[in-house]
Structure 1
Amino acid sequence: MAGQRMVIVGAGQAGSDTAAALRAGGFTGAVTLIGDEAAVPYQRPPLSKAYLAGRTDAAGLELRPEGFYGAHGIERVRRDPVARIDRDRAGVVLASGRTLPYDRLVLATGARPRSLPVPGAGLTGVQALRSLADAEALRRALAGARHLVVVGGGFVGLEVAATASGLGVPATVVEAGARVMGRTVGPEVSERLAAEHRARGVELVLGREVTALEGDRRGRVRVVELNDGRRLPADVVVVGIGVLPAVELAADAGLEVGGGIVVDARLRTSDRAVYAVGDCARFPSPYAPGRLRLESVQNASDQARHVAGQLCGAPAPYTAVPWFWTEQYDLRVQIAGIVRAGDRRVTVGDPAGRFSVLCFRDGLLVGAESVNRPADHMITRRLLASDGPRPTPDEAARPGFDLKTWQAPASAQAPAQPQASTQAQAPAPAPA
């Protein structure tokens, strides 16, 4: 490994964790981490919560202290993004013209926010929330805001609305779907979150789409127009309608892409010297048919460590259990596994308070959505990762059932693990 050169493109969670895991795994060759931003690699989830609320600063977001990278021999390239990948010469060409050779290349290019495709989307006061710079701009804007409109009722949108409500800024969430967080949780959790937001003064406009944004003579947004003719006052608009994987570098280099950078079970691209991890990667999983692309800290960090392990000599398929979370007000929603619309759902606990929805497919526990029941979440993750028995839907439906006290019957057999398929594509949950 001493003579090997590892180049990592992308300095977010996946990229930074890959570099750190390489050193922790004993890799002694050169490691270069290339990022578009000047900031020390940082966490994104707190941007919509603690950072936006002013409860932490930029230093509190850092994944690792700035001195960590130099102390561990990790070269950081900042504000000089990769312009193209030269696979024939095994190098990446930076915007400055500098070429960095590699023996192995890891793409951790992440994703970018979808733009709102309506007139007025470029007005001042309209923005997404993905980067530290975005969060800084939004924090300044909210300090003097009178009306916030959030477009999109997913993780980021609801977290921003919750934070704004706590800051005393009136917020309205416009969601095209029939319920909030409809892509990632079932109706039970959606209803609990919606009730909490309404109780805190957030207006939820469901089943409606934005058709235009209007501004004043200075070019600042003032009105959000909906497809039912309604006009919402707004001096700040946050667009949270999902992201697109950053696949351009891979595609231009001739690597296979499709809903993300396509990788195999070991996270290798169609070029075996190039890997992809994190939000940009579309990978096979034993927990869903087809290939998944997951936008979560868990996935980014687990894949980073997995690739580093392989590059340090421990090849194996990636089989980590997917899990996600969001925090809104005093509600902590945690999701384990990949569930589908047709799964049987059994609620345990109090739907108006602390509860979990256990999800079953063909009689097998495949996931859980928990609200302020962290033990249920952790137990479900452990059950999904094991080959041991799991509770049945009939057991879960019995009065008083509790995962913490459940014990498998002595005659229970280990459940068959769900098998991955290359024929269908599962949805891509997008937690903050």
Structure 2
Amino acid sequence: MTGRGVVIVGASVGGTRVAAALREAGYAGALTLVDPDPDAPYDRPPLSKQILAGDWDAARASLGDPEEWGATRYVAAAAGLDPAARLLRLDDGTRLGYDRLVLACGAAPRLLPGMPLGGVHVLRTLADCHGLRADLDRIGDGRLVVVGGGFIGAEVASTARARGIDVTVVEAQPAPLSGLLGEDVAAELSLLHRDNGVRLLCGTSVAGLVGGVSVTGVTLTDGTTLPADAVVVGIGVRPATGWLADSGILLDTDGGVLCDEYCAADADHTVYAVGDVARCHDPLLGRHVRVEHWTNAVEQAAVVARAIAGPDPEPYRHEFFVWSDQYGGKITLLGRPGPGDETDVVRAGGPRRRFAVAYRRGARLTAVLTVNWPKALVVARRSMATRGDADDVVGSWKNL
């Protein structure tokens, strides 16, 4: 058995931020990073945009070298955990002891029936990105079907459309992101696809994939078959925590690790979780939440590093900030819209679709969506930081 010190399972943004923050806080003990991805550590947001488009070399997405933090790196997957013995088992047979364990193991994409099949892709790793990019090169100006109109699906559609590819997006909801943004706002946002020549089919799902060795089409539940030279599946992810099933670590129904407000998963605060796997208690909401966004992983990594390095831990407070680069512009969401929120929409002039949405509960501003309008975001951030009311921010937008 080797190890002790802090062992971090996962070398994406959450895990690497924990390692860097621990060293910055003066932690001098052993650090170990465990990740089965031989290309790690790298940042994921560029995978659906700059790297897929060929505008960036993958080196620009690097999150650093574990040697910078004096960390030992194992290219292996976590396979089992014994919290009582403080022992982590890897799939190559290695056993690592630890004083503190950080679960930053991320999530795995949900798949369609019939996968794997040639020409059908998910986008989670750098290897996935390279494989998809090669297929986009292969099909030229052919036909791409994107299953799922969330942020990843929309970014892939945007990148492919910029290459001249014929793109169809299939979305099961009435409009992409309608569960998060509400149907009216989501319908307005979805017009970005139409503006850029992307066909959007909503309210239908995939019944099956057509093809032998490689995909040739996608059959929908409404009976339509879409011809396809390539398919990208972006229908969500599932926390990569199956290996924790017999560990005693508490998981929720979707596999998220249940944590307190310090991101600790056990009473002794020896096991922590960050990023896509962590369902942490939010004292402001009074419930546990799991957030699958970059900023959340960064915030939780800072909380965990402070809790381990001490002496004054601070509880997790998530701002909920999400951004997406699509069709040459930027979409941002600040705050978390609620199902009963009212909305005020302010539209700005210009050559492309540009607007902002204030979500409110009475006078209180609860969330803000901005589309291709950076100044509106600046105003919104200022208002939410000072707990300004919705009328104030809407009035300010109208004066921009």
Q: TM-score, normalised by structure 1?
A: 0.85
1:34 equivalent in structure 2 = 34
Provide the C-alpha distance between the structure 2 equivalents of 1:162 and 1:275, rounded to a whole number of angstroms. 36
Distance in structure 1 (CA, Å) of the matches to 2:331 and 2:236:
19
Judged with a 3 Å threshold, the aligned counterparts in structure 2 of structure 1 residues 284 and 177 are, in CA distance, closer, same or farther, namely same
- Aligned-pair Cα RMSD in Å: 2.1
Question: In the aligned structure 1, how far is the partner of 2:338 from the partner of 2:365?
Answer: 12
Residues 1:92 and 1:213: Cα distance change in structure 2 (over 3 Å): same
1:331 — aligned with what?
329
Summarize the Cα distance change of 1:254–1:52 in structure 2 as closer, same or farther, 3 Å threshold: same
Does the Cα contact within 8 Å between 1:115 and 1:239 map onto a contact in 2?
A: yes
Q: Is the 8 A contact 1:175 1:209 kept in 2?
A: yes
Q: CA deviation at 1:284?
A: 1.9
Asked if 1:98 corresponds to 2:94, the answer is yes
1:47 is paired with a residue of what secondary structure? Answer: helix
Q: Give deviations 1:359-402, integer Å, cap 9, x for gaps.
A: 11243111101112234334434544x4x441244x455xxx11
Cα deviation code 1:311-334 (max 9, x no counterpart):
111212111311101010122100
Distance 2:119 2:173 in 1: 24
Alignment: residue pair count:
390
Q: 1:290 maps to what in 2?
A: 287
Paired with 2:381 and 2:301, the residues of 1 have a C-alpha distance of 19
Q: What are the ranges of 5 or more consecutive residues in structure 2 without an aligned counterpart?
A: none
Question: TM-score of the superposition, structure 2-length normalised?
Answer: 0.92
Partners of 1:84 and 1:93 within 8 A in 2: yes
Distance 1:60 1:188, change over 3 A: farther
Matches within 5 A, 1:79-98: 80-98=76-94
Q: Aligned letter for 1:6?
A: V
Q: Which residue of 1 aligns with 2:232?
A: 238
Shift of 1:200: 2.0
Evaluate the alpha carbon distance shift between residue 285 and residue 373 of structure 1 in structure 2; reply closer, same or farther with a 3 A threshold. Answer: farther
Q: Give the match's secondary structure for 1:17.
A: helix
Partner of 1:46: 46
1:312 alignment partner AA: A
In the other structure, the counterpart of 2:173 is 177
Q: What is the alpha-carbon distance in structure 2 between the residues aligned to residue 291 and residue 350 of structure 1? A: 37
Question: Does 1:347 find its partner at 2:341?
Answer: no
Q: Which residue of 2 aligns with 1:149?
A: 145
Preserved contact between residue 358 and residue 365 of structure 1 (Cα < 8 Å): yes
Partner-residue secondary structure (3-state), 2:164: coil
Question: Residue 340 of structure 1 aligns to a residue in which SS?
Answer: coil
Q: Which moved more, 1:84-93 or 1:8-17?
A: 84-93
Match of 2:223 among 208, 215, 229: 229
Amino acid across the alignment from 1:18: V
Check conservation: 2:178, 2:185, Cα contact below 8 A: no
How do 1:269-308 residues align onto structure 2 when only pairs under 5 Å count? 269-271=265-267, 272-286=269-283, 288-308=285-305
Letter aligned with residue 338 of structure 1: R
Asked if the contact 1:189/1:369 (under 8 Å) is kept, the reply is no
CA distance in 1, matches of 2:229, 2:36: 30
Question: Aligned equivalents of 1:20 and 1:274: distance in 2?
Answer: 18
Q: Does the CA-based 8 Å contact 1:348-1:396 persist in structure 2? A: no
Q: Is the 8 A contact 2:360 2:367 kept in 1?
A: yes
Change beyond 3 A, Cα 1:318–1:405:
farther
In structure 2, relative to structure 1, the CA distance for the partners of 1:282 and 1:389 (3 Å cut) is closer
Partners of 1:294 and 1:279 in 2: CA distance: 6
1:121–1:43 distance in 2 versus 1, CA, 3 Å: same
Instruction: Give the share of equivalent positions with the same residue, in percent.
Output: 40
Q: How far does residue 121 in structure 1 lie from its aligned partner after superposition?
A: 3.0
Q: How big is each residue's C-alpha offset from its partner over 1:197-244, in whole Å with a ceiling of 9 and x where there is no partner?
A: 22222111111111111104xx11101111121111012111111111
Cα distance, 1:405–1:102 mapped onto 2, change above 3 Å:
farther
Find 1:70's aligned residue among 57, 67, 70.
Answer: 67
Q: 1:301 is paired with a residue of what secondary structure?
A: helix
Aligned residue for 1:424?
Answer: none
Q: Which stretch of structure 1 is more off in the superposition, 189-198 or 46-55?
A: 189-198
How do 1:392-407 residues align onto structure 2 when only pairs under 5 Å count? 392-393=390-391, 395-396=392-393, 401-402=395-396
Distance 2:319 2:334 in 1: 7
Find the aligned partners of 2:149 and 2:319 in 1 and give their Cα distance. Answer: 25
Equivalent residue for 1:16? 16
Q: Distance between the aligned counterparts of 1:193 and 1:364, measured in 2?
A: 23
Indicate the SS of the match to 1:184: helix
Per the alignment, do residues 290 and 378 of structure 1 end up closer, same or farther by CA in structure 2, a change over 3 Å counting? farther
Residues 92-241 of structure 1 aligned to structure 2 (within 5 Å): 92-116=88-112, 118=113, 120-145=114-139, 146-187=142-183, 189-216=185-212, 219-241=213-235
**What is the deviation of 1:187?**
4.3
Post-superposition CA distance 1:100-142 (Å, at most 9, x none): 11111100011111111x3x33321112111111111000001
Return the alpha-carbon distance in structure 2 between the equivalents of residues 71 and 111 of structure 1.
26
Structure 2 residue matching 1:144: 3-state secondary structure: helix
1:143 is matched by which residue type in structure 2? Answer: D
The alpha carbon displacement at 1:348 in A equals 2.6
Q: Please state whether the residue corresponding to 1:295 is helix, strand or coil.
A: coil
Q: 1:291 to 1:246 in 2, by over 3 A?
A: same
Give the equivalent residue in structure 1 for 2:250. 256
Alignment match, 1:409: none
SS at match of 1:38: coil
| Distance change (3 Å), C-alpha of 1:350 and 1:375 | closer
Pairwise CA distance, 1:287: 5.2
Amino acid at match of 2:218: V
Amino acid aligned to 1:255: I
Distance 2:80 2:28 in 1: 26
Mark the CA change 1:289 to 1:335 in structure 2 (over 3 Å): closer, same or farther: farther
The corresponding residue for 1:418 is none
2:74 partner amino acid: V
